[in-house]
């Protein structure tokens, strides 16, 4: 049986080598393409070494296909030079694997020099033996034996242990669980490769190992299986960089929206609240001068001061509410908001609910509430309206909010005012929620603010 297996793999040796090299080429190329140098993850600093190992190994493996072909066209000296280059390429790729394993576990400068010192020494020995006339096949045999024992065996074991530690760290960061699982798969695969690539050393110049003699299966088979498994596991695990980028973009969006809100509230406090308090102080100072001369006028002025201060108190309450989190359901809090505007202004606010609005996370509810508040504030301050309709409609996969007033409509130049932050805030919050905002209206025909936010009940339905 072992002879039949050996004959099969001998007949298909070129195909096996092509698949073997392709597995490691895919590993190296996928890691190189997915790696992000700007990532803050500890794993990122070691990945270029894994890419170098995969790409270097693939080229050295494919050399066993191309060098025999070249031997029919070039002189033997060139073939010997190519074989020496193949041996040096194997050493460099093996050293990259050892360096990868070390970097996953340690970061000290003294430790990280070990692979390159060993690789440089072994490469120098290879060149000296070649210069002294030792047969190239013997040089390849001994260099591969030493390379696999010195570099591949410890490097693969260190990589397996290091990826286990990386999986534990990433699990603590609450990243998607599939990333952690694929890192563990990669760790187990490196443990298997330590046996297939580090223990199975060649016994003869044709690359045969004890596995060939016992089973007829060449060592390239388990190594190719390990390479394919590593490529698949790392491709899946390195989606962590996409998740990291998504989190960064979301965080930046939150920070921008928060900064814009702070600027808006700070400006309004300065231009509105502080000026109102200062004006009330001036009116009280004037009361001191008129209370004895004209008590009736003083009473009127005191009432005006009280009205101004009450308005200021309402503004401050609104600002504080803007900064607090939404504790209730969106439909309920929108009802409270419309009641507040109805009581604190001369607006007739009509609030309606259609469909089945979904249960949303606090962050989504808070952003939607502030967007409606901004639309109502604009209607009260700028539109000259006396009636506003607020509609909350829950459609399949889309939540719609519509705020429509009967005011003077949008100005001819559009809704944006120089220095204004309200409308830009609406668009910023919509982008943060992957939604959109539309402002509709013409002069004298009122303004309509339409907000659409997609949602997935299975995701957004849980707080």
> Which of the listed residues 309, 324, 339 is the one where a domain comes to its end?
324
What pLDDT does 97 receive? 95
Is residue 151 predicted with pLDDT exceeding 90?
A: yes
pLDDT tens digit sequence for 91-136: 999 999 999 999 988 876 667 788 889 999 999 999 999 999 889 9
Q: Looking at the domain assignment, is residue 247 inside a domain?
A: no
pLDDT of 412: 62
- Last residue of some domain: 275, 294, 324? 324
Angstrom distance (rounded) from CA 316 to CA 310: 10
Identify whether 246 is part of a domain. no
Q: Among residues 324, 354, 370, which one ends one of the domains? A: 324
Same structural domain, 259 and 377:
no
Do 69 and 121 share a structural domain? yes
Mean pLDDT of the chain: 83
Which stretches of 273-423 are assigned E, i.e. beta strand? 348-355, 387-395, 398-405
Q: Are residues 277 and 341 in the same domain?
A: no
pLDDT for 271-295, tens place per residue? 557 666 777 787 788 888 888 888 8
What pLDDT, on the 0 to 100 scale, is given for residue 267? 60
Instruction: Check residue 361 and give its pLDDT.
Output: 80
Burial class of residue 288, CB neighbours in 10 A (0-12, 13-18, 19+): exposed
pLDDT of amino acid 51 = 95
Quote the tokens at residue 435. 């939604």
- The reply to whether 244 falls in a domain is no
Tell whether 155 and 180 lie within a shared domain.
Answer: yes
Do 153 and 73 fall within a single domain?
A: yes
98 assigned to some structural domain: yes
Q: Give the closest residue to 114 by CA, choosing from 103, 128, 124.
A: 103
Q: Does residue 248 sit within a domain?
A: no
Quote the pLDDT of residue 419.
Answer: 44
Is the domain of 32 the same as that of 127?
yes
Do 260 and 350 sit in the same domain of this protein? no
| Contact (CB, 8 A) for 408 and 441 | no
CATH number of the structural domain spanning residue 307: 1.20.5
Asked whether residue 73 falls in the same domain as residue 210, the answer is: yes
Least confident of 155-159, 216-220, 328-332: 328-332
Range of the domain at 115: 2-238
Burial label, 327 (beta-carbon count in 10 A; 0-12, 13-18, 19+)? exposed
Confirm whether 249 is domain-assigned.
no
- The pLDDT of residue 463 is 40
Same domain, 174 and 157: yes
Per the structure, how many domains does the chain have? 3
| Residue 243 belongs to some domain of the structure | no
In this predicted structure, the answer to whether residue 265 has a pLDDT above a threshold of 70 is no
The answer to whether residue 250 is domain-embedded is: no
CA-to-CA distance for 129 and 268, rounded, in angstroms? Answer: 82
Q: Are 147 and 90 in contact (CB under 8 A)?
A: yes
Predicted local confidence at residue 461, as pLDDT? 45
Q: Are residues 143 and 267 in the same domain?
A: no
Which of these, 159, 217, 191, lies nearest to 31 by C-alpha position?
A: 159
CATH code where residue 350 lies: 3.30.565.10
Q: Which two tokens stand for residue 61?
A: 């493996």
Q: Give residue 41's pLDDT.
A: 79
Q: Are residue 39 and residue 94 in the same domain, yes or no?
A: yes
Tokens 């591949």 belong to: 152
Cα separation values, 144 from 29, 201, 254, 329, Å: 24, 7, 54, 67
Residue 267 sits in the same domain as residue 180: no
CA-based radius of gyration for the chain: 36
Average pLDDT over residues 68-81: 87
């Amino acid at each position: 049986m072992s002879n039949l297996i050996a004959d099969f793999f001998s007949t298909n040796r070129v195909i096996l080598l092509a698949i073997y090299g392709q597995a490691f080429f895919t590993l190296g190329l996928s890691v190189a393409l997915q790696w992000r140098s700007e990532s803050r993850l500890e794993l990122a600093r070691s990945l270029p070494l894994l890419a170098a190992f995969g790409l270097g190994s693939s080229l050295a493996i494919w050399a066993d296909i191309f060098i025999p072909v070249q031997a029919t066209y070039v002189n033997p000296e060139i073939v010997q030079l190519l074989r020496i280059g193949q041996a040096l390429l194997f050493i460099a790729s093996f050293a990259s694997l050892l360096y990868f394993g070390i970097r996953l576990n340690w970061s000290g400068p003294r430790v990280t020099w070990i692979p390159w010192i060993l690789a440089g020494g072994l490469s120098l020995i290879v060149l000296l033996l070649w210069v002294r006339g030792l047969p190239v096949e013997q040089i390849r045999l001994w260099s591969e034996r030493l390379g696999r024992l010195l570099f591949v065996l410890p490097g693969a074991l260190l990589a397996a242990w290091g990826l286990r530690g990386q999986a534990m760290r990433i699990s603590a960061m609450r990243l998607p669980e599939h990333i952690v699982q694929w890192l563990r798969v990669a760790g187990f695969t490196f443990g298997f490769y330590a046996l297939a690539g580090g223990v199975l050393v060649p016994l003869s110049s044709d690359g045969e190992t004890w596995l060939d003699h016992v089973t007829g299966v060449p060592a390239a088979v388990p190594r190719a299986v390990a390479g394919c498994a590593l490529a698949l596991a790392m491709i899946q695990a390195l989606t962590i960089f996409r998740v990291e980028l998504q989190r960064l973009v979301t965080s930046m969006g939150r920070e921008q929206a928060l900064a814009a809100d702070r600027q808006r509230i700070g400006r309004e406090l300065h231009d509105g609240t502080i000026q109102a308090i200062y004006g009330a102080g001036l009116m009280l100072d004037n009361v001191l001068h008129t209370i004895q001369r004209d008590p009736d006028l003083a009473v009127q002025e005191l009432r005006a001061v009280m009205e101004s201060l009450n308005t200021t108190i309402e503004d401050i309450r609104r600002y504080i509410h803007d900064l607090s989190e939404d504790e209730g359901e969106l439909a309920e809090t929108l009802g409270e908001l419309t009641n507040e505007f109805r009581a604190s202004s001369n607006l007739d606010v009509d609030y309606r609910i259609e469909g089945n609005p979904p249960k949303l996370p606090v962050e989504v509810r808070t952003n939607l509430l502030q967007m409606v508040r901004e639309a109502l504030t604009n209607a009260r301050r700028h539109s000259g309206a006396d009636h506003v309709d607020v509609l909350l409609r829950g459609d399949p996969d889309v939540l719609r909010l519509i705020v429509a007033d009967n005011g003077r409509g949008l100005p001819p130049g559009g809704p944006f005012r120089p220095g204004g932050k309200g409308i830009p805030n609406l668009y910023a919050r919509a982008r943060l929620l992957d939604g959109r905002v539309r402002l509709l209206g013409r002069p004298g025909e009122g303004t309509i603010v339409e907000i659409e936010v997609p949602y997935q009940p299975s995701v957004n339905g849980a707080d």
